[in-house]
Amino acid sequence: MKAVILAGGMGTRLREETEFRPKPMIEIGGRPILWHIMKGLSLQGINEFIICLGYKGDYIKDFFINYEARTHDITVTLGKNEGMIQHSEFPNENWVVTLVNTGIQTMTGGRINRVKKYLGGERFLCTYGDGLADINLESLISFHKTHGKTATVTSVRPIDRFGALQIDKSDLVTDFSEKPMSEKRVNGGFFIFEPEIFNYLTNESTLEKETLEALVSAGQLKAFAHNGFWQPMDTYRETIELNELWYSNKAPWKIW
């Protein structure tokens, strides 16, 4: 199975970080969040990636073109016999990465539609290039296979930004939760799509609006409930929190 990763947005809520680089290249523990997403998928059997580029897409292209030099110790010989020796401190990634320019202003549905030719008419996973989860792909894919619908979306319970108070009838605070889980479930990415998804896409469509709404109307969308870790990187505060998890060796998405 191939994975399509949406990595073309401008990340306007992280302007202090995305002025000079695209959001999926913001680093957690010295590696782009995009790398963390791909690493987690790879260790669960997905090693072919199609990355939908847009805003500052060349930055992502340069990262993968120079991936080995960036991620390994190297010895460079200059002069007449110029060359480079790579010292493999870590195993090489067994990845096939297709980088597709899908347009600066293109919406998410349009980006997926524009990579159709690289998918070979097969079922595929699709997710966002700015969200991490400790999702079990085997369970997700097995769930998708059982229902026979066109699409599966992973539903998650986000962490509320504000603390929650439990107050009794006398206005006494009886409990306080600093970061409670929301009661509502939201779109957490990690979709599984059948090839028929392209019947619901155009080059101008937005995945989260026209496409999902059409799937719902047609009775072709099921939700896989993920109750584990899920965290988007929408704000600078969330970037800090994800790095704190990584450096404290408490990163739930790290399965390697």
Q: Where are the domains of the chain?
A: 2-157+186-247
pLDDT of residue 224: 98
Which tens digit of pLDDT belongs to each residue from 70-123?
888 888 888 877 788 877 766 668 999 999 999 999 999 999 999 999 999 999
Which tens digit of pLDDT belongs to each residue from 171-223?
667 776 666 666 789 999 999 999 999 999 999 999 999 999 999 999 999 99
pLDDT of residue 135: 96
CATH superfamily of 2-157+186-247: Spore Coat Polysaccharide Biosynthesis Protein SpsA; Chain A (3.90.550.10)
Strands of the chain (E only): list them: 2-7, 27-28, 31-32, 48-53, 73-77, 83-87, 96-101, 124-128, 131-133, 151-156, 164-167, 173-177, 186-187, 191-193, 221-225, 230-232
Q: Which residues contact 2 (CB under 8 A, 6 or more apart)?
A: 46, 48, 49, 50, 118, 119, 120, 122, 124, 125
Q: pLDDT confidence of 166, banded at 50, 70, 90? A: confident
Per-residue pLDDT, averaged over 13-39, amounts to: 90
Which tens digit of pLDDT belongs to each residue from 57-73?
999 999 999 998 888 88
Q: pLDDT confidence of 20, banded at 50, 70, 90? A: confident
pLDDT of residue 12: 72
Which tokens go with 231?
A: 């965290």
